[in-house]
C-alpha cells in the first residue's frame, strides 16, 4: 500500500545550522510523483517542490536542496544555513498512478522544524 | 494570480448541526480537492472534483459530501456534526487532473465542533 513516513516528529536547530528532513515512501507503482510542502503557523500548505519517479537528479533552489534516491525510496530535504523564518511543519507527499488519474496526495505525518535564533 | 481562497476561515458549530465550506480555486484551475487535517490523523484526503464530477473519494462517512460548480468553485458539506469533525479543512486546486499536477492549497477553514 502507498505510504509516506517522516520519522522525525520534531527537529530543533540553531540559526545557520544545516538540517535534513527525511522522507521514506512506499508505492506499488512505477510512475509516481513526490512533493514537499511547508506549513507555517498560519495553516496554509505552501508548495516547495515536485519530483517524478523517473527523474533522480538532485535539485537545489537557494538554501533548499532535495535528494531523491529510488534505491532507498527516499526523498530527503535539506535546508542550508537555516533561518528563523524556516520554522514550520514540513510535509512530504506522494501521488501515484495506481487506480487511474487522480490528484490524491498521500501525506506523511510531517516534521516540525524549530529554528532558534 | 490570486491564490486559492476559502470561506469562512473560522467556524464554530455544535454537535448535530451541519456546515458548508466554500473554496474558490486559482483562476483557470479546474480541479479541486479537499483534505482534513487533525492532530491525531494528520492530513487525509476527502474528495476530488474535476469538471463538476467527483473523481475520487477518501475513506470518510457519507456525512461528508461536496460538489463543484461550472466555474470550478467547490463546496463541501458536513451534516450531523460530531466532535471529531473539528479540524482544519484544506482545499487545493490544480490546473487539471492527474498525478503529475501540483496542488496549490488555500489557507483552510478551522472548524470547531462543540
Distance CA A70, CA A27 (A): 11
Per-residue pLDDT of chain B (114 residues; tens, 9 = 90+): 789 999 999 999 999 999 999 999 999 999 999 999 999 999 999 999 999 999 889 999 999 999 999 999 999 999 999 999 999 999 999 998 777 789 999 999 999 999
Residue A27: list chain B partners with CB under 8 A: none
| B22 in A contact zone (CB under 8 Å) | no
Answer yes or no: do A52 and B33 touch at CB < 8 A. no
B34 neighbourhood in chain A, CB within 8 Å:
none
CB atoms within 10 A of CB A24: 17
List the one residue out of A93, A91, A4 whose CA is nearest residue B101. Answer: A93
User: What DSSP string describes A3-51?
Assistant: EEE----EEEEETT--EEE--EEE-S-SSEEEEEEEE-TT---EEEEEE
Determine phi and psi for B90, rounding to 5 degrees.
Answer: -110, 135
- pLDDT surpasses 90 at A92: yes
B14 to chain A, closest Cα gap in Å: 23
Burial B29-63 (b: 16+ CB within 10 A, else e): bbbbbbbbbeeeebbbbbbbbbeeeebbbeebeee
**Looking at residue A28, what is its pLDDT?**
87
Q: Hey, are the CB atoms on A31 and B99 less than 8 Å from each other?
A: yes
What confidence category does residue A58 fall into, taking pLDDT thresholds of 50, 70 and 90?
confident
From the list B43, B55, B107, the residue facing A44 with the nearest CB is B107
For chain A, the C-alpha Rg in angstroms (whole number) is: 14
Residue of higher predicted confidence among A55 and A69: A69
Cα distance between residue A73 and residue A24, in whole Å: 6
Location of C-alpha cell 469538471: B51
| Interchain proximity A47–B100, CB inside 8 Å | no
Question: Using the beta-carbon criterion (under 8 Å), do B103 and A103 form an inter-chain contact?
Answer: yes
Cell representation of residue B81: 456534526
Beta-sheet pairing, A10-14 with A111-116: parallel
Among A104, A105, A106, which would you mutate to test the B interface (most chain B Cβ atoms within 10 Å of its Cβ)?
Answer: A104
Amino acid at each position: 500500500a502507498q505510504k509516506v513516513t517522516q520519522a522525525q516528529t520534531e527537529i530543533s536547530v540553531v540559526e545557520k545550522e544545516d538540517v535534513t528532513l527525511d522522507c521514506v515512501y512506499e508505492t506499488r507503482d512505477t510512475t509516481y510523483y513526490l512533493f514537499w510542502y511547508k506549513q507555517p503557523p498560519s495553516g496554509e500548505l505552501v508548495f516547495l517542490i515536485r519530483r517524478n519517479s523517473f527523474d533522480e537528479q538532485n535539485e537545489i533552489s537557494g538554501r533548499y536542496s532535495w535528494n531523491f534516491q529510488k534505491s532507498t525510496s527516499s526523498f530527503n530535504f535539506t535546508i542550508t544555513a537555516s533561518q528563523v523564518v524556516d520554522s514550520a511543519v514540513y510535509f512530504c507527499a506522494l501521488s501515484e498512478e495506481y487506480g487511474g488519474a487522480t490528484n490524491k496526495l498521500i501525506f506523511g505525518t510531517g516534521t516540525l522544524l524549530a529554528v532558534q535564533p | 494570480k490570486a491564490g486559492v481562497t476559502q470561506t469562512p476561515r473560522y467556524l464554530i458549530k455544535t454537535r448535530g448541526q451541519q456546515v458548508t465550506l466554500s473554496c474558490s480555486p486559482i483562476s483557470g484551475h479546474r480541479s479541486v480537492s479537499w483534505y482534513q487535517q487533525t492532530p491525531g490523523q494528520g492530513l487525509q484526503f476527502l474528495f476530488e472534483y474535476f469538471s463538476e464530477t467527483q473523481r475520487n473519494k477518501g475513506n470518510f462517512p457519507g456525512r461528508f459530501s461536496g460538489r463543484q460548480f461550472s466555474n470550478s468553485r467547490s463546496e463541501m458539506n458536513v451534516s450531523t456534526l460530531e466532535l471529531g469533525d473539528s479540524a482544519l479543512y484544506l482545499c487545493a486546486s490544480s490546473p487539471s487532473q492527474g498525478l503529475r499536477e501540483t496542488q496549490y492549497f488555500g489557507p483552510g477553514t478551522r472548524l470547531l465542533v462543540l
